[in-house]
Each structure stands twice: as C-alpha cells, then as structure tokens.
A and B are shown apart, each in its own frame.
Chain A
Amino acid sequence: MHSSVTFPAGGAGAESDEAELVRRAAVDAAATAALYQRYVGRVYRFLRVRCSSPDEAADLTQQVFLKMAQALPRYRERGAPFAAWLFRIARNAAIDHARRHRVTVPWDSLTQAAAPDDVEAWVLDRETRARVGVLLAELSSAERELLSLRFAAGLSSREIAAVVGGSEAAVKKRLTRTIQRLKERSNG
C-alpha cells in the first residue's frame, strides 16, 4: 500500500513549491490531485482521533477535501502556510461533526485492528496504544488537540500557532510542557 507523503515543512523551497502547487490547484485538476495526495494521510490521522470509527474519519476526510476544493480559488497566503489553512478547515469540520453527532471518542479505545501477522508485536502495539490512550485521556481537550496537530497532522509549532491562534513560542512551550507531564505520569 502506498504510504502517504509528508510535505516538507518550514523550508523556503518547500513553501515556494507548495505556493505554486496551490496556485495551480485553483484551476488545475492534476495539481489539486497532488495536494490531495500530499495531505490526505495527515488530514485523516488528525480526524481519526476525533471520530468513533475509521469509516467515519474517512468520510469526514473526504468532506474536508471537498471544502478545500471549494475554497481554493479564494485562498490567499497571508502569513499562514497552506497546511495551516487546510487544517483550520479540518478542525472546523471536526468541530461541526462533533456538534452534529455528539461524538465522544474514548481515547483509550483507539487501537489498531490490523491483521496480526506478528502476534507478539501486535500485542505489544495494542498495549502501547492502550497505555498512551489512558495518558491522553487525562489531558485537557486543548492539550490533546495540540498533540494531534503535531503528531497526527505533522505540523510545526509555527503552523499549529496559525491553526489554533497564539504565538509559535507559546505553542512550543505548551507542547514541551505537555510532553513533560505525560512523561512524568508514564513513569509514575
């Protein structure tokens, strides 16, 4: 299976390439397809922890890209990178979805249902996920969102700041503190 592509974050060349791709995507099918392929995995993973099933997350991911396609002709880069703009759409879609469906996802239930080719590794993976899920359940929703934007969406602190508001330094500080707290609880 094809693994999703992670777009390089933070580089000048990356930004200019992406800006060109975004500019074309407003009028060019192939460029839009390229954007979709670049981000579909990251958007899905960001939404997965906010949905009760993989299918629900996949449906919501498709809706995010429909909205992206709808809004692309109006997209203007004003300091916020494209990734931050896209994940603002995804975040709003997730909020709307939760409001409509009253979704409450138990964080310790987000385990993989992959076929266990290697039973030992699979069991270890399940245990790790369950343990991480319990740790995350103790965090505030804002802290969990920061972690999902970093670890699932693959955004930099600067991009996260553009999604949720605030400064890059503040986001980085909160992420560092949250990880420190998780580490202490994990060891405790």
Chain B
Amino acid sequence: MAKHVVPLYADLIDGTDADGQQLVADLHAFFNPAVPSRLQAAPPLVAPRAVGRKWRWPRTALVAALAVFALVGATYIALPLLQLLWSEDRGLQHVTQAGLARDLNLRQTIDGVTVHLEKGYADANRVAIGFSVELPPTTPGDDGPQFSSAILTDDHGNTYPSLGFSGTGDSPLGAQLHNFEPLGVTAGRDIAFTLTIPEVVRAPKGGGTVRAFRGPWVFNFTLPMAAARVVERTQTFTRPGVELTITRIVVAPSATRFEYRVHLEGFTDRAGASLMLSGSGVGHGGNGDVTRGYVSPGPARGSASSFCQPDVECSYLLREPLLDADAFHADALIFIPDNEPCPPRQKCEVGRDGKPLQIRIDGLVLPLR
C-alpha cells in the first residue's frame, strides 16, 4: 500500500484513522495509472500567436489586401503571417537581417490542402523551418487555429527532435514555425533535409470536433549550417546543499544554449524531482537591450526525461542573438514538487501553505567569450 501518499489527503481524513488512510491510499492508486509513454514523448504543443491583437492593418492596407485576395486568391495572404512569426522571434529576426535564412519556396497540394514551405535556417542550436498551410474553406463556427506535427530528418538517417512550434491563429490560412534540435552537425557545410508533415489539424474555436487533414506532405531541401561560438568554461554556483554547474555555452546566430547540471545534496527521489533553469535572467546584448529569458523544460540531448533531473546534463536555450554580448545574466529556479520536502540544508521558498516550492540561485553571470 502506498501510505506515503496519505499526507496529500490530510484535509479529508483524520490522521489517526487507519481505515481512512488505507482507503485514500487505495483511491490514489486506483486513480493514478501509468501515463502512456507516447504522451510523455509527444512534441510540445504550442499556443497560437495572438496575431490579430498585436498587429493591426492600416485601413488602406487592409482594403488593398482584400483587393489582392479577391484577385489572386487566398494563398499569398499566408506569407505575411509567416513573416510575422519569423520576425517576432528575435533570434530569427537577427539571422534574417544577417542574410543567413534561406528562401525555400516549395509547394505541395494533397486533397485540397496546400503546404507552402517558405523559409529555413540552421545553426548549432536549432533548425527553424517556416511554412504556410491553406485549408479548405470552413463553415461559420467551424473555423479555428491549425496545428501540425512535423518530422525533420537528414540524408544520414538522423531524426531531429522537436523544440516546439508556434502558429498563427487564422484558419483556413495559417502559418507555422517549427524548431528542431540539431544533432551535433558540423558548421560550414550544407545539410540535405527532409521535412514530413503527416497531417494538419484544425481545432474549431467553438469546441467542436477537431478535424485532421491527412498527408503526408514531404519536402526535400538543403540548408547551410551557420557557424557558432563554443565557450568551454565550467562554472559552479553553490548555495547550502545545492550546486549548479554550467558546463558549456554554445553561442549561435539564432539562439544561445547553456548546458548545465544541478546537484541537490540528500535529494535521492529522482523520480519526483522537476528542475528548470528559469528565464528570469537578463542578457545584455550589444545594442544595450535587456532580454527576458525563456523557460527550457527540455534536457540536453541524450537524456530521455522531459524535465531536468539532479546530476543529469540539461540545457537552457535562449532564443536571442548574443553573439555580440560578453556575458549573460541569469537566475536559476529549481522547482520542488508538492509531495516532496525541502531537501536538507537547502533554503526553499515556500507557499502560503508552508510547502516548499523552489530553490532559487540569483545573480549568475555567465561569460559568452
């Protein structure tokens, strides 16, 4: 019997009630079956961008766009959507300005669904692929944002893990920007990629049935691998009972990757731990901008877990061009699950109910040269 779960239900049973404790332990076991691995391994789902709220067409431009739409069809409207997604990513904005992104302009139509592969970019920290999708017209109330899974492989048989995607909220016209983790490929040479989109899914706004349009749409193309700078300098930050080690920093044109591991003294229940290097840090770019970081739930390559575990190599990906920066300023957050105590000697921040929430290490300064 899993009696260790009983404290989770202390508000429902008397602490001296053995039968009650037995019952909640049984209920807990009953309601907590194993989660299928396909769910845990699924590529992250990404919220559609609130394009319409952030970006307003000037009235004259809107009239002109509608005229163009009426004359030449809807397909070309999707192009600005992808450009918007691409340009809102500061790392990709930088690579576009530097002339490093490649126009692909490949198009394929299956059963009335057209996928237009428009743009690609690759460096040591990510491969970014942008495409637009034109779905069949919808009936009123049946429209909604579109999603796709996308599989990126190369001519050596490598499959590139997904780093997530973003998409516009428009349907039937939409655009998607997919990011993939590069697999140690060498800079300076062209890579022959294949992008496979098995299906496109439309999720109606009104909560109706999700509709899947089956492909696959398959595209072959090459991208050059842009050069990156690697800082091999191990730095360790310690607090009582906790040790954070930055082992390697890869500074590439589209993003910066921080590889790290965390050691928690006395923390042995690895199955219950969840750690993240949070994006509360700031980086000072060459132009003086202060940059928010990104939460990175994914571990470094080679680890099967979704969250960083103690003493396991993990990575923190900042989608920000820091090639001109001398250092990155960050804070680290180590999250404690609610059924775990604060490990010995560590100072945990606690919530209103007194439960430990996180261990915090502020003020990291990480050299980028």
Taking Cβ atoms with an 8 Å cutoff, the residues of A that contact B are: 1-14, 17, 21, 24-34, 36-37, 40-41, 44-45, 48-49, 54-55, 58, 61-63, 65-70, 72-73, 92, 96, 100, 110, 112, 114, 125, 128-129, 131-133, 136, 147-148, 150-152, 154, 157, 172, 175-176, 179, 182-183, 186-187
Q: Find chain B residues with CB under 8 A from A147 CB.
A: 27, 31
List chain A residues, Cβ under 8 A from B291. none
B46 CB-CB contact with A under 8 Å? yes
Q: How far is the CA of A150 from the CA of B215 in the complex (A)?
A: 40
Residue of A nearest to B38 (CB): A58
> Once the chains bind, are B23 and A179 in contact (CB under 8 Å)?
yes
Inter-subunit contact B147/A66 (CB<8 Å): yes
Task: Among A1, A40, A151, point to the contact of B28 (Cβ < 8 A).
Answer: A151
A44 with B207: CB separation less than 8 A:
no
Binds A, one of B217-225, B320-328, B348-356: B348-356
Which of B49, B298, B351 is A13 in contact with, Cβ under 8 Å? Answer: B351
**Residue with the greatest number of chain B CB neighbours at <10 A, chosen from A26, A30, A73:** A30
Are A186 and B19 within 8 A (Cβ)? yes
Q: Can you sample 11 A-B contacts with CB below 8 Å?
A: A13-B351, A17-B357, A25-B47, A27-B49, A30-B44, A30-B163, A30-B298, A34-B276, A36-B42, A70-B145, A175-B12
CB atoms of A48 and B11 under 8 A apart: no
What residues on A are CB-neighbors of B307 within 8 Å? 2, 5, 37
Q: Say whether, besides A27-B47, A33-B297, A63-B210, A110 and B30 are in contact (CB < 8 Å).
A: yes
Q: How far is the CA of A171 from the CA of B350 in the complex (A)?
A: 26
A44 to B, closest residue via Cβ: B35
Q: Counting CB contacts under 8 A, is B98 at the interface?
A: no
- CB A178 to nearest CB in B, in angstroms, measures 9
**Is B352 within 8 A of A10, CB to CB?**
yes
A33 touching B36, Cβ below 8 Å:
no
Q: Are A36 and B350 in contact (CB under 8 A)?
A: no
B294 and A28 within 8 A (CB): yes
State whether A8 touches B338 (Cβ < 8 A).
yes
- Given A25-B47, A129-B29, A183-B19, A17 and B163 touching (CB < 8 A)? no
**B47 neighbours in A (Cβ, 8 Å):** 25-27, 32, 68-70, 72-73
Interface contact A9-B338, CB-CB below 8 Å = yes
Q: A2-B305, A179-B13 in contact; A32/B46 too (CB < 8 A)?
A: yes
Q: Which B residues have a C-beta under 8 Å from some C-beta of A? A: 8-9, 11-13, 19-20, 23-24, 26-40, 42, 44-50, 53, 88, 144-145, 147, 163-166, 169, 179, 201, 203, 205, 207, 209-210, 271-272, 274, 276, 279, 294-298, 304-307, 317, 333, 335-339, 349-353, 355, 357-358
Tell me, in angstroms, the Cα distance from A130 to B279 when the chains sit together: 46
Assess the A14–B351 pair: CB atoms within 8 A: yes
Contact A73 B50 (CB under 8 A): yes
In the bound complex, what is the Cα–Cα distance between A96 and B38 (angstroms)? 23
**Residue ID in chain B nearest A27 by CB atoms:** B49
Q: How far does the alpha carbon of A109 sit from the alpha carbon of B163 in the complex, in Å?
A: 38
Known contacts A8-B337, A41-B35; A183 and B144 CB within 8 A of each other: no
CB pair A96–B207 under 8 Å, yes or no, is yes
Complex Cα distance, B307 from A7, in Å, reads 13
Contacts of B166 in A (CB 8 A): 27, 29
Interfacial chain B residues near A151, Cβ < 8 Å: 24, 27-28, 30-32
Chain A residue numbers with a CB within 8 Å of B46 are: 29, 32-33, 69
Q: Quick one: closest B residue to A132, CB to CB?
A: B30
Cβ distance A173 to chain B, nearest Cβ, rounded Å? 10
Q: Are A6 and B338 in contact (CB under 8 A)?
A: yes
For residue B135, give the distance in angstroms from its CB to the closest CB of chain A: 15
* A128 x B351 contact (CB < 8 A): no
- Cross-chain contact A73 with B48 (CB below 8 angstroms): yes
Q: Are A17 and B27 in contact (CB under 8 A)?
A: no
Residue of A nearest to B354 (CB): A11
Q: Which among A17, A110, A152, A182 has the greatest number of chain B C-beta atoms within 10 A?
A: A17
Contact present for A14 and B50 (CB under 8 Å): no
A150 to B34, CA, bound (A): 17
CA distance A33 to B276 in the complex (A): 12
Complex contact B48–A187 (CB within 8 A): no
Task: Give 8 nearest A-B pairs by CB, closest first.
Answer: A11-B351, A33-B44, A29-B164, A151-B31, A152-B31, A73-B50, A72-B47, A8-B338
> CB-CB < 8 A to B11: which residues of A?
157, 172
CB-CB < 8 A to A150: which residues of B?
9, 12
Instruction: Give min CB distance, A42 to chain B, whole Å.
Output: 9
